[in-house]
Amino acid sequence: MAEFDTIAKHFIQTYPHDFARFALQRDDIEAVQVIESEQFTVETRRTDSLLHVCINGENALVHHEFQTTDHPAMPRRMADYIGRLTNHHGLPVFAHVIYLRPNAGRRDPGYYLQEHPGYQILVQYKVIRLSQLAGQAVLDGAFVGLLPFAPLMQPPAGQTEEAWLEQCVARATALPLEGSVKADFLAGLAILSGLVYNPQTITAIVSKEHLMNLMRESSFAQYLAETIREEIVEEVTKQGIEQGIEQGIEQGIEQGIEQGSRERAIEALLDVLEIRFGLVASNPLATRIGGIGDVQRLKQLHRAAIQVPSLQAFRHLLDADD
């Protein structure tokens, strides 16, 4: 989920006060400062986003961890993060796991608990599932920095999902911002929407031509284009640098949207295997499924997972496909 991490980190670093107020649900937050990821490394894993805040004269850290799936499980992982942050900074840590996809986070208890008599350990964090939150407050301007995440939230009562996405796009388009900043909002919104909406719905609401005209200035589009730049080097040479870069931008945006469809398919398949056969995130089979890139194959495996009599039978089927 590299592209989703990039989007989340960009908007937190640009609008840290909005994200701190949103996570803590309070307005009396002062002196919000972004702690750059380079300043704190947890072995090979960096925290998603870390803010230094002051509340009623007390210094504290606000940690945001963004997730699209339930794999890996978060309690022990968050206990590790919080412990290391506390040791490194010596400040209270207000930690949050923000689940972007509707089906993710349903089984996250929001704490790590060790219950050995005489050695009990409890580490708590807040679980925020965007699909459970009303998104209208974001569109009304309460948290401008979270506007790209609004399509993942609940629409007003009686409004269809498609109408809600259209309203979110219209609100982002109407932002009184300079072109490149507005382009970042729209690019982030379009890519994050791929976690919930299929690509056809997104492109039906935001026409390709309009999307590209607005997003050519976006740093996100440039970033995504960079990830596939090597794949289009020959075409850049043949058709000219400018045209090649524009194609890379378009492919990058489409790649981000399609990645959301892949994430949904993986999550649905893992859910079936967990419910039917008790498959856990640490099982190598779950890791193997997470590496499948073909959405159609994932859908076929999902149907097979519903029908096979055992996990071993599913594994044989997967081996046969390889």
**SS3 letters across 109-132:** CCEEEECCCCCCEEEECEEEEHHH
Going by C-alpha positions, the residue among 219, 225, 213 that lies closest to residue 188 is: 219
pLDDT for res 183 = 85
Which residue has better confidence, 252 or 157?
157
Q: Looking at residues 116-122, what average pLDDT do you find?
A: 94
Percent of the chain with pLDDT over 90: 41
Is beta strand 49-55 parallel, antiparallel or unpaired with respect to 111-114? Answer: unpaired
Going by C-alpha positions, the residue among 247, 186, 170 that lies closest to residue 220 is: 186
Q: 2-132 in CATH: which number?
A: 3.40.1350
DSSP 134: B
The length of the chain is 322
Reported confidence tier of residue 136, pLDDT bands at 50, 70, 90: very high
C-alpha 293/C-alpha 127 separation (Å) is 28
Which residues are within 8 A (CB) of 284 and not within 5 positions of it... i.e. 6 or more apart? none
Which residue has better confidence, 11 or 39?
11
- Residue 209, pLDDT > 70, answer no
Specify the domain boundaries for CATH 3.40.1350 within the chain: 2-132
Question: DSSP H helical segments within the chain, as ranges?
Answer: 2-14, 16-24, 75-89, 136-139, 161-173, 179-193, 199-205, 208-215, 219-227, 233-239, 241-277, 284-290, 295-307, 311-321
Q: Looking at residues 75-96, what average pLDDT do you find?
A: 94
C-alpha 316/C-alpha 32 separation (Å) is 53
Reported confidence tier of residue 1, pLDDT bands at 50, 70, 90: low
Contact 20, 51 (CB under 8 A): yes
Reported confidence tier of residue 305, pLDDT bands at 50, 70, 90: confident
pLDDT for res 251 = 58
Percent of the chain with pLDDT over 70: 79
pLDDT for res 99 = 95
- Residue 97, pLDDT > 90, answer yes
